[in-house]
Structure 1
Amino acid sequence: MTRRNPQEWQQLIDAQEASDMTIAQFCHAHNINQSTFYLQRKKRQALALPQTSEQWLPIGSLSSQQPDTRQWQIELSLPNGVVLNMSTGG
């Protein structure tokens, strides 16, 4: 079994994407276990995702300077019979 570091895995993933081979063909040609390739690709994709927790904004910062006078009501019926009602309360 060959141990690869994260940079080597990224190079292999990039090489497969640039090739005309399917993942199965690429893994066979490079003696890589297919499920290991998928796992490593998933890990690299998860690391590449932006961290969204810092992108949350307070609701107050989304509202305009003038209050919104429109009325709205939402009713959400869940499969278990629970009904959730939301509205502007006006």
Structure 2
Amino acid sequence: MYSIDVTLKYSPIAVSVQRKDREDAEALYQKVVAAMGGTPQAIELTCEKEPEKKVSLFSDQISAVIISQRSGAAASGRPTGFFVGVE
């Protein structure tokens, strides 16, 4: 399972949807990235894990998009995203 997390401006919580296949996740990631650079538009995202889950976003409000594979890290309680170790 792959997760696509979209971070919105002025919002501390990311919007997440899941895809079963790597190719589908990459296609959705590219769709969101392309929308970020163009004319502001509404983007509707759906989730394969929860088919009834839908969200619509304005592309000019997206500040970041992350694609990641849901694996043991999610099960261990660590959130998806980037980890910076400081010594």
Task: Say whether the fold is shared (TM-score over 0.5).
Answer: no
Bigger Rg, structure 1 or 2: 1
More helix by proportion, 1 or 2?
1
Normalised to the residue count of structure 2, the TM-score between the two structures is 0.32
* Structure showing greater relative contact order (alpha-carbon pairs closer than 8 Å, 6 or more residues apart): 2
